[in-house]
Amino acid sequence: MAGFDKMGVILLVASLEFILLQLCSATRYYDFVLKETNFTRLCSTKSILTVNGSFPGPTIQVHKGETIYVNVHNQGLYGVTIHWHGVKQPRNPWSDGPENITQCPIQAGSNFTYEVVFSSEEGTLWWHAHSDWTRATVHGAIVILPAAGTTYPFAAPHAQQTIILGSWFKSDVMEVINSALATGADPNNSDAFTINGQPGDLYSCSKASTFHMKVDYGKTYMLRLINALMNDEQFFAIANHNLTVVGQDAAYLKPITTPYIMITPGQTMDILVKANQPPSHYYIASAAYSDAIVPPHNGTTTAILQYRGKYSTPSTIPLPNLPVSNDTTAADNFTSCVRALASKAHPITVPTKITTRIYMTIAINEQICPNATCAGPDNNAIAASLNNISFETPSIDILQAYYGGINGVFEENFPTNPPYFYNFTGEQQNITTYPTFGAKVKFIKYGEGVEIIFQGTNIIAPENHPMHLHGFSFYLVGTGYGNFNATTSPKTYNLVDPPEVNTIGVPKNGWATIRFIADNPGVWFMHCHLERHSSWGMDTVIIVGNGNTTNSKLRPPPAHMPLCSKS
């Protein structure tokens, strides 16, 4: 009898384990099928690359600290990779995604399973394709809920809604960038901005499909807002309703209550909205913020905040007062309020011992065009650079080359300082008009306290640059206009409650300083999140070496990384 009981217990335990595995696998495994899909927008139909036939793509929802697996089946026409924007992926750059930086593309007709490792992130992030311009249509939200047994640092909202801001191009996005690179000119603006895939009813043919967010009077909602646009910062607001921003880039902030926000491509924000206005319809609206010389697309995308209940539908729906598109003061007034929550439950640790300091100029440049037949400035082609190096993506991935010791793929000589010192934000100097080209990376030892001072320059076309680093979140300790001054600028640093983020706007003709500990060994892309700038070479790579313990060393590659040979 005793033996039978023992067997029974073992069977029971085994089947419980089986049931638990089944339950877990429902949320931990995702299938992403990349394929061409027909969509109708702005009165015409075209085929776009999607994940699982939807635009935007599916939402991934996890709890803090979980690991998920995403099997990407490429049924499209060309090779593509997927990046998990803002997910640090400790020791696991193999699943980070940027094409030819950490992997070669998943070729059409094949598949690859990403292991996405969440650690300290909590809030909202997003995933997007990281090959050419495919991210225009291949992107979606990542919702990271508090870990089991913990709660938000504010009253739990009644419900939440992801709001993804996007770009819609009437023509094929690959043609937009390929023709720009071929002629050397600026790529075309998008034809509309979108909220959850819809331009909204200020655009023709979009009325019936405008996104509606339904709310109950008196309840508080959390918007998980993502700027997935290709090339434009956005002002965002809801008519008659204040926004309370409580998180950015999956870290909590001291709440900011504001009538509007400014969000750069790559950034995400968690925003509480109280449905406290007379039940009716109100526009949710988003439009460009830009301090660039070339004006942005001037449309406004809208959705509708719709109260549930009985009332007569208004004949005109109120629009929010968005700042005008070049209102830098309005943009700065919001951005300068952003502070980390820095509470007991959500502490921050700002590095104070800096052992690696990089001073990095950001510039739009020219590439000499044979016979001066290009369509950019001076009949040359537009280029872009960091410390005067215009990044050239190698044909096999840097991670593989680094891990396997393959020579000739990249050089470890990315400069720690600009090659020329002059008045960066003053008159343009010819000496810096033409950059050097190459795959130059910066190697940093494990555990270093790193400070990067981004310095905007007045070369060709100054503007705000949303700089993004993979593999880390970092503290934005200071920003200013003009040239960074090594004596006076650091005195303005916020080392108490700087926001912990992954994408920051470097002010036009100004500077921004970030800090982080190099505690994530791997190969990590760093670039401007304006896609045209990244395509022109405003990129570099930071390689963080291994530490001395097993837990501070790069993990070995998974069994089946995509092959680099096929073009």
The least CB distance from residue 527 to ligand C2O, in Å, is: 6
Binding of Cu ion at residue 528 (CB under 5 A)?
yes
Binding of ligand C2O at residue 88 (CB under 6 A)?
no
Note if the bond before 56 is cis, omega within 30 degrees: yes
- Residue 254 one-letter amino acid: K
Residue 365 is encoded by which pair of tokens? 């440049």
For the chain, the straight-line distance linking the first and the last C-alpha, in angstroms and rounded, comes to: 66
Q: How many residues bind ligand C2O (CB under 6 A)?
A: 11
Between 300 and 365, whose beta carbon lies closer to Cu ion?
Answer: 365
The least CB distance from residue 528 to Cu ion, in Å, is: 3
Binding of Cu ion at residue 465 (CB under 5 A)?
yes
Residue 91 binds which entry of Cu ion, ligand C2O, none, CB below 5-8 Å type-dependent: none
- Extract the runs of DSSP E, i.e. beta strands, from 339-487: 356-367, 381-386, 389-391, 436-438, 441-444, 449-456, 465-469, 474-481
Of positions 424, 533, 539, 564, contacts Cu ion by CB under 5 A: 533
**CA–CA gap between residue 264 and residue 230 (Å, rounded):** 10
Residue 470 binds which entry of ligand C2O, Cu ion, none, CB below 5-8 Å type-dependent: ligand C2O
Binding of ligand C2O at residue 465 (CB under 6 A)?
no
DSSP 3-state of 143: strand
Residue 88 binds which entry of Cu ion, ligand C2O, none, CB below 5-8 Å type-dependent: none
Q: How many residues bind Cu ion (CB under 5 A)?
A: 4
The least CB distance from residue 68 to Cu ion, in Å, is: 31
**CA–CA gap between residue 317 and residue 481 (Å, rounded):** 39
Residue 465 binds which entry of Cu ion, ligand C2O, none, CB below 5-8 Å type-dependent: Cu ion
Of positions 266, 507, 521, 537, contacts ligand C2O by CB under 6 A: 266
Between 468 and 515, whose beta carbon lies closer to ligand C2O?
Answer: 468
**Contact yes or no for 111/73 (Cβ under 8 A):** yes
Binding of ligand C2O at residue 527 (CB under 6 A)?
yes
Of positions 41, 73, 83, 515, contacts ligand C2O by CB under 6 A: 83
Nearest to 64 by CA among 112, 9, 18, 125: 125
Any residues with CB less than 8 A from the CB of 24 and at least 6 apart, and which? none
**Contact yes or no for 200/170 (Cβ under 8 A):** no
Binding of Cu ion at residue 530 (CB under 5 A)?
yes
Strand order, beta sheet including 159-168: 192-195, 159-168, 220-227, 268-274, 243-248, 251-258
> Which residue is nearest to ligand C2O, using beta carbons?
85
Tell which positions 125-144 bind ligand C2O, by CB under 6 A. Answer: 128, 130
Site residues (vs ligand C2O, CB under 6 A): 83, 85, 98, 128, 130, 266, 468, 470, 525, 527, 529
